[in-house]
Amino acid sequence: MEKLIITAAICGAEVTKAQNPAVPYTVEEIVREAKSAYDAGAAIVHLHVRRDDGTPTQDRERFRECIDAIKAVIPDVILIPSTGGAVGMSAEERLQPTELFPEMATLDCGTCNFGDEIFDNTMPMMRIFGNRMMENRIKPEYECFEMGHLDTILTMAKKGEVPGAPMQFNFVLGVPGCTPATVGNLDWMVRQIPAGSTWTVTGIGRHAFTMAAAGIVMGGNVRVGFEDNLYLSRGVLARSNGELVGKVVRLARELGREIASPAEARKILNL
């Protein structure tokens, strides 16, 4: 198997300091958490940004400030800015980070229930996102929350509406209202992707480490972080994103997978 690429989703748009005081809001806190994850073994940081009061934002200049600050400390890390933003944001609002020409960015693959809310990703919206990424030479990480999302994005890629092969997928399993986090569901999704594709699994909440273990043994890659799960173990809050990444590293070593550096991850992902 190839080496394991670990992604750290360090803050997301929804979790708060009331849930875990270590959730980062400020630029300095975001840099702290990115470095803690990198030092523990993450090659990639999946990046949302916040205002200092914790309000989620897709503001281009806030992204620029955070990206520049992270790169000043860990210059070789791979950054994947989110174009998902927060529920209710417009497409143009969500696309602002693409104006900074990152090497990768997320592209959400369909509308879905997101707990009590609706995460809106219509096909016309996805075509706009796909065109922007092709124009700006950004490799998408295709985020699939539902099984149908995968078929949708593969069909769009065949039509040239979004970037095609080689494709990178992130299977986000366990969001309330979306595809449950089971090994069977993950196996089904992995079997559908084109040859030469790469993939990552994200388990939400209590599923974070069971899905991480499945991803490790199946030859995929793993995402963890405060965006997806705030706990190191049942009832024990993680003190940093680095603690969550460190647990994946320990699992990987027990299961015989080596950890990819950012340089090795770039080769695996065809960046």
Supply the DSSP string of 41-91, one letter for each residue. Answer: T-SEEEE-EE-TTS-EE--HHHHHHHHHHHHHHSTT-EEEE-S--STT--H
Mean pLDDT over 144-160 rounds to 96
- Tell me the pLDDT band of 155, cut-offs 50, 70 and 90: very high
> What pLDDT was estimated at residue 92?
94
Q: What is the pLDDT of residue 23?
A: 98
Q: Please give the span between the terminal C-alpha atoms of the chain, in angstroms, as a whole number.
A: 19
Rounded CA gap, 176 and 94, in Å?
Answer: 22
- Whether residue 109 contacts residue 152, with contact meaning beta carbons closer than 8 Å, is answered with yes
DSSP class of residue 95 equals: T
Give the model's pLDDT for residue 270: 96
Closest by CA position to 190, among listed 199, 202, 179: 199
Domain limits, the chain: 6-268
Q: What is the pLDDT of residues 219-248, one digit of tens each?
A: 999 999 999 999 999 999 999 999 999 999
Say how many residues make up the chain: 271
Reported as a single tens digit per residue, the pLDDT across 38-81 is 999 999 999 999 999 999 999 999 999 999 999 999 999 999 99
Buried b (16+ CB within 10 A) or exposed e, 77-105: bbbbbbbbbbeebebeebbbbbebebebb
Q: What pLDDT shows up at residue 114?
A: 85
Q: What is the mean pLDDT of residues 145-174?
A: 96
List, for residues 1-12, the tens digit of each pLDDT value.
899 999 999 999
9 three-state secondary structure:
strand
Burial of residue 167, with CB atoms counted within 10 A of its CB: 0-12 exposed, 13-18 middle, 19 or more buried: buried
For residues 36 and 71, is the Cβ–Cβ distance under 8 A? no
**Residue 111: predicted pLDDT:** 92
- Strand ranges (E), the chain: 6-9, 44-47, 49-50, 56-57, 78-81, 104-108, 112-114, 117-119, 139-144, 168-173, 198-203, 221-224, 231-233, 236-237
Looking at residue 94, its amino acid is: R
Q: What's residue 88's pLDDT?
A: 87
Question: Any idea what the Cα angle at residue 172 is, between residues 270 and 223, rounded to 5°?
Answer: 55
If residue 162 lies in a helix (H) or strand (E), which one and from where to where? none
pLDDT score of 87 more than 90: no
Alpha-carbon gap, residue 140 to 184, rounded angstroms = 25
- Tell the residue number behind the tokens 């080496």, with chain if given: 3
Q: What are phi and psi of 253, to 5 degrees?
A: -65, -40
Instruction: Write out the CATH class of domain 6-268.
Output: alpha beta
Q: 168: which strand partners? A: 141, 198
Question: Per-residue pLDDT averaged across 158-179, rounded?
Answer: 96
- When pLDDT is averaged across residues 190-211 and rounded to a whole number, the result is 97
Mean pLDDT, range 166-176, rounded to an integer: 97
Say if residues 193 and 204 touch (Cβ distance below 8 Å). Answer: no
| pTM summary value | 0.97
Q: Which pLDDT score, from 0 to 100, does residue 43 have?
A: 98
The count of C-alpha atoms lying within 13 angstroms of the C-alpha of 269, restricted to the half-sphere facing its C-beta, is 31
Q: What pLDDT shows up at residue 81?
A: 98
How do residues 92-117 score in pLDDT, each as one tens digit?
Answer: 999 999 999 999 999 999 999 988 88
> Residue 72: its pLDDT value, please?
98
pLDDT-derived band at 171, boundaries 50, 70, 90: very high
SS (H, E, C) 140-154: EEEEECCHHHHHHHH
